[in-house]
Amino acid sequence: MRYKPLPSSVYKNNRSSFSKKIDKLGLAVFNSNDIYPISADSTLPFSQHRDIFYLSGIDQEETILILFPHAENPINREILFIKKTNKLISVWEGEKLSKKKAREISGIENIKWLSEFKSTLYDLASQSDLFYFNTNEHYRAKNVTQTREDRFIKWAKNEYPAHRVGKSNPILQKLRSVKSEEEINQIKKACEITKKGIVRIINFIKPGVWEYEIEAELIHEFIKNKSRGFAYSPIIASGKNANILHYELNNHKCKSGELILLDVAAEYGNYSSDLTRTLPVSGIYNDRQKKIYNSVLNVKKLATKLLTTGTLLSDYHNEVGKIMTSELLKLGLLRKVDIQNQSSKNPAYKKYFMHGTSHHMGLDTHDYGLLNEPLKPNMVLTVEPGIYIPEEGFGIRLEDDVVVKEKGEPTNLMQNIPIEIEEIEDLMNK
């Protein structure tokens, strides 16, 4: 692996926290992701299911984890099943994890080959009357593909119809939303790699450069620093493209006088960072661009201060909306009559700032976090306000990642990545 893995104690603690939340006779099963086909014999690169990774640290396909905290034999309270290497696999793909290596990474003593899973589950099922299944219940989830987890659940319900069913995902959503110090350090590492990429392209951007050339510079820097690459599909949007929130074509030439919105960040060890900067293609912001930029930056700074322990995200987004409304009035983009005619469902500021300001992040870029529960220390969130003006041909978004603290303002993990106008212009014109 490229990254330095976390100590096995992190995964032991995660499993212990989960096991304390399930019923006495509950048995939980977690499956790795599939390797997804493209066509013919081609596949997408494997990416591990974040829940089984959170609980085991294992980054290999065809892995299954059983957690059965009240199994009669203590050795069966944690069982990890991994794929066994054979000569064909060894020649074509390289050797898979040995039992010893899987034990070192996960801290799980009972490691078995994948071929032993069904017989083991059969033996343990008699001691349990409740299976915990791990369906995807993230609030942004759109499940259109049957996963390895889905196929297992269907099989298990058919094979063990008398067993009651529980849900693992709500438990994991609570647990994963609060990060350990070790997890925060992995996110910091991803942020540091992201900084290197941004510093590199600050010196690369100029009129005539193509958006995909910037993407190439970033991926070079990320991989060179032990990242697998982008934490999410990169948005490199010059000029009017910045008004497309999920613009991913990255195939336009950057023109003199334009701004380029870069929503790009590295992952490290399966942990994400998430950053946005808006840079002047010619190295200098014009007066209008500066006014909009400074308004967005002001909203970002004020919004960051609101991310404190005990805050509800619904209240937070309402407050940020008020701050943005004030800025848009100062800019002349909104008038008092717009405010008078707005409704709670359709606030006036949404014409120019139509997305949320913050989301949880960690193992997923849009990570687990229950929206109706107050913020807790060591939650990691983005802060990403923006103003988009299609009629003027540009949009500006700025984004950093912050850690909620027990007391006071959050810690900005990206505070060393250039964001002030003067610093950016100085760096671009060296």
Q: What residues are labeled active site?
A: 41, 246, 263, 274, 355, 359, 366, 384, 388, 397, 399
Instruction: Say whether 113 sits in a helix, a strand or coil.
Output: strand
Tell me how crowded residue 244 is: count the other CB atoms within 10 A of its CB.
Answer: 15
51 vs 301: CA distance, rounded Å: 33
Give the three-state DSSP class for 164. strand
CA distances to 277, 387, 395, 426 from 421, rounded to whole Å, are 11, 16, 16, 9
Question: Do the Cβ atoms of 172 and 51 come closer than 8 Å?
Answer: yes
CA 262 – CA 276 distance, rounded (Å): 5
List the structure tokens of 379.
């939650």
Alpha helices in 258-392 (DSSP H): 287-306, 313-331, 336-340
How do 37-39 and 42-43 pair as beta strands? antiparallel
Beta bridge partners of 235: 263
CB 351 within 8 A of CB 329: no
Among 79, 81, 72, residue whose Cα is nearest residue 126: 72
